[in-house]
Amino acid sequence: MICLTDIKTAIRLLERSAELIEKNCKYSETDTARQNKQLVKKLKKKINETNH
C-alpha cells in the first residue's frame, strides 16, 4: 500500500527532476519536465481531495 509519505516523496522527486531537466537538457527534451509537472499537479490535487 502506498502511504501519503510515499506520495509526497514522489512529488518532491518529480519536482526536482523537472528542475534538473529544464536546467541541463536540450529544449526538445523538456517535454519530460512538463509531464513531471503535470503529474505533480495531479498528485497534489488527489492529496487535497482525500484530506478534505
Q: How many domains does the chain have?
A: 1
Q: Per residue in 16-39, pLDDT tens?
A: 999 999 999 888 888 999 999 999
Residue 2 is predicted with a pLDDT of 84
Q: What is the residue range of 9's domain?
A: 4-51
Decide: residue 1, CB within 10 A, 0-12 exposed, 13-18 middle, 19+ buried: exposed
Distance CA 6, CA 33 (A): 20
Instruction: Render the chain in DSSP notation, one character per residue.
Output: ---HHHHHHHHHHHHHHHHHHHHHS-GGGTHHHHHHHHHHHHHHHHHHHHH-
pTM across the whole model: 0.82
